[in-house]
Copies of this chain bind each other. A is one copy, B any other.
């Protein structure tokens, strides 16, 4: 009975098929869709659009919160329906189209997309496609498992298509906190001073006359593909816990630390799990994505409150949490990603930010996005919003990749997303490098001795020795700086061919 979920009865007549709804989207349009890390994404209208694109050759600019599930990016990419995509993605097929230069991908800090739209430096938004759990009597939208950029997309779009998802629990109502900063030059401070502050409305207030179509669906969110903790991610978590314990013992933090942020993915999830058996307590999170670990920490009595922009869970956890959402609701809030990732709030709260590095260099510059400096993986996401403005910016990575053929620590990062200015602590399963207050020549020693895998340590020591003989604040041998990446291109491995590579 979907009509129960449309409080404004005049909208009942707007219910159409996905195909009919998708007809509002024309070739060349800029479309904003809900969805943040596989949660709360528009699921059926984009599929109908892809079908039409295959038939008619249509192309759009697609903006979302972050990555999508439900094979939406895959299907649209296969249908060649995307000319431009932003601000984040994580789909292998779309990734290939991006790397082939077919889709123009704009890799943005997740807090910034709506600022560019609001100031009309990008846009206009022609159509917004927003998944909702319900529409209230005023026509306002109630989002589902993510907020992402949905509120601003809906507020700015000429037309709105609502995907009313009957599988999403009505208990989600009240979970969201929709706050949109006022327009400059009259913008006021964002009044969040604690992670659990609620500052906005529980709905996205829109003019219902802009709702062009409503589609009813029963498609579930895709579940997360996070790996369970393994030996190495547990070691990484252990190093972080030890470090934070030392910070506490030095009087720099209390036993509830500061609000935690953790990026998406298996390593960050494992690191959060590491807090379960620690002696920290009364923790809070001010993060983007709430993963399994968030709820495990709550169940373990460690986590008081979590603020995020989406809930992305494994299949079992998904079933349990969404069926018992009322149990967690008083300790959760979902915010627009502009607010979850806002520099103002992150700096004020003094977040501990834990994000994953794809590679790092011996000076602590971090590449989060580009394989061998050229091929896009997913995107920078919120890592920059958090790392730059946090009290403590931690990056984690396993020291090796591809069975040891790749060292995650290289002489010079082949692409830089986070500069050495923004990286406080680097952790691998080998150990932790506390880079705070250190100069590059000090950072390199610490990173090599503490974080690099033993099979690559000698080669990096040799590189540093040769580079320092040439001088400079950040010594490099330019002819060898990218040679490790070239070795992968040429022979599939960074492993030294002779006992010492850097001769």
Q: Which residues of A contact B (CB under 8 A)?
A: 84, 86, 98-101, 104-109, 115-116, 119-122, 181, 184-191, 193-194, 250-252, 258, 342-344, 347-350, 365, 370, 372-376, 380, 384, 388-389, 391-392, 412, 414-421, 424, 436-439, 441-442, 467-468, 470-476, 478-479, 481-482, 485-486, 489
Residues from chain B with a CB closer than 8 A to the CB of A107 are 420-421, 473
Q: Are B482 and A478 in contact (CB under 8 A)?
A: yes
B194–A436 touching, CB < 8 Å: no
A-B contact pairs, 25 of them (CB 8 A): A104-B438, A104-B439, A104-B442, A105-B439, A105-B473, A106-B439, A115-B347, A119-B252, A119-B391, A120-B251, A121-B392, A121-B436, A121-B437, A184-B348, A184-B391, A185-B350, A189-B189, A343-B347, A344-B347, A373-B474, A374-B478, A376-B472, A376-B473, A415-B474, A417-B419
Chain B residue numbers with a CB within 8 Å of A442 are: 104
Copies, count: 2
Name A480's closest neighbour in chain B (CB-CB).
B482
Do residues B121 and A421 form an inter-chain contact, with CB atoms below 8 A?
no
Q: Given that A106-B439, A370-B474 are contacting pairs, would A189 and B187 also be in contact in the complex, using a CB cutoff of 8 Å?
A: no
The reply to whether B473 and A375 contact each other, CB–CB distance below 8 Å, is yes
Q: Give chain B residues whose Cβ lies under 8 Å from the Cβ of A475.
A: 101, 374
Look across to chain B and name the residue whose beta carbon is closest to the beta carbon of A259.
Answer: B185
Within the complex, the shortest CB–CB distance from A201 to chain B, in Å, comes to 20
Bound complex: CA A344 to CA B415 (Å) = 28
A330 CB → nearest B CB, Å: 20
Whether A374 touches B476, Cβ cut-off 8 Å, given contacts A185-B349, A187-B193, A258-B185, is yes
Contacting pair B101 A441 (CB below 8 A): yes
Shortest CB–CB separation between residue A447 and chain B, in angstroms? 15
Chain B residues with CB under 8 Å of A120's CB are 250-252
A122 in complex: contacting residue of B106, B437, B468, CB < 8 Å = B437
Least CB distance from A318 to B in Å reads 31
Decide: B421 and A473 in contact? CB cutoff 8 A.
no
Contact B478 A372 (CB under 8 A): yes
A449 to chain B, nearest CB (A): 17
Given contacts A374-B474, A374-B475, A376-B473, contact A115 B391 (CB under 8 A): yes
Partner of A187, one of B348, B416, B489: B348
Complex interface: chain B residues within 8 A of A84 (CB)? 437, 439
Judging by beta carbons under 8 Å apart, are B384 and A421 in contact?
Answer: yes
Contact status of A489 and B478, CB under 8 A, knowing A417-B421, A439-B106: yes
| Chain B minimum-CB-distance residue to A437 | B122
Q: Is the CB of A468 within 8 A of B421?
A: no
Given A101-B468, A370-B473; 20 other pairs, CB 8 A cutoff: A104-B439, A104-B441, A115-B347, A119-B252, A121-B424, A122-B436, A184-B350, A185-B349, A185-B350, A187-B348, A189-B190, A189-B191, A343-B343, A370-B472, A373-B478, A373-B481, A374-B472, A374-B476, A376-B473, A478-B489
For A419, the chain B residues whose CB sits under 8 A away are 380, 384, 416-419
B189 near A252 (CB under 8 angstroms)? no
CA distance A447 to B378 in the complex (A): 25
When C-beta atoms are compared, the residue in chain B nearest to A473 turns out to be B376
A258-B415 contact in complex given A347-B343, A442-B104, A478-B485, C-beta closer than 8 Å: no
A65 CB to nearest B CB, Å: 17
Shortest C-beta distance, A494 to chain B (Å), equals 13
**A186 cross-chain contacts in B, Cβ below 8 A:** 193
Residues of B within 8 A of A436 (CB): 116, 121-122
Given A384-B421, A478-B373 in contact, is the A472-B441 Cβ separation under 8 Å? no
Q: Which residues of B contact A468 (CB under 8 A)?
A: 101
Give the docked Cα–Cα distance between A419 and B416 (Å): 7
Q: A421-B109, A479-B486 are in contact. Are A470 and B374 (CB under 8 A)?
A: yes
Cβ–Cβ contact B478 & A414, under 8 A = yes
Bound-state Cα–Cα, A327 to B11, Å: 62
Task: Please name all residues of chain B whose beta carbon is closer than 8 Å to the beta carbon of A350 when the two chains form the complex.
Answer: 119, 184-185, 187
Do A473 and B185 touch across chains, with their CB atoms under 8 A apart? no
What B residues does A478 contact at CB under 8 A?
372-374, 414, 482, 485-486, 489
**A365 in contact with B474 given A189-B191, A343-B344 (CB within 8 Å):** no
Given A193-B189, A344-B347, A350-B185, A375-B421 contact (CB < 8 Å): no
A247 and chain B: residue at smallest CB distance: B121
Interface centre among A187, A250, A392 (most CB of B within 10 A): A187
Q: Please state if B473 and A99 are interface contacts (CB–CB under 8 Å).
A: yes
Task: State how many angstroms separate the Cβ of A473 from the closest Cβ of chain B.
Answer: 4
Complex Cα spacing A415 to B414, Å: 10
**A67 → B minimal CB distance (Å):** 16
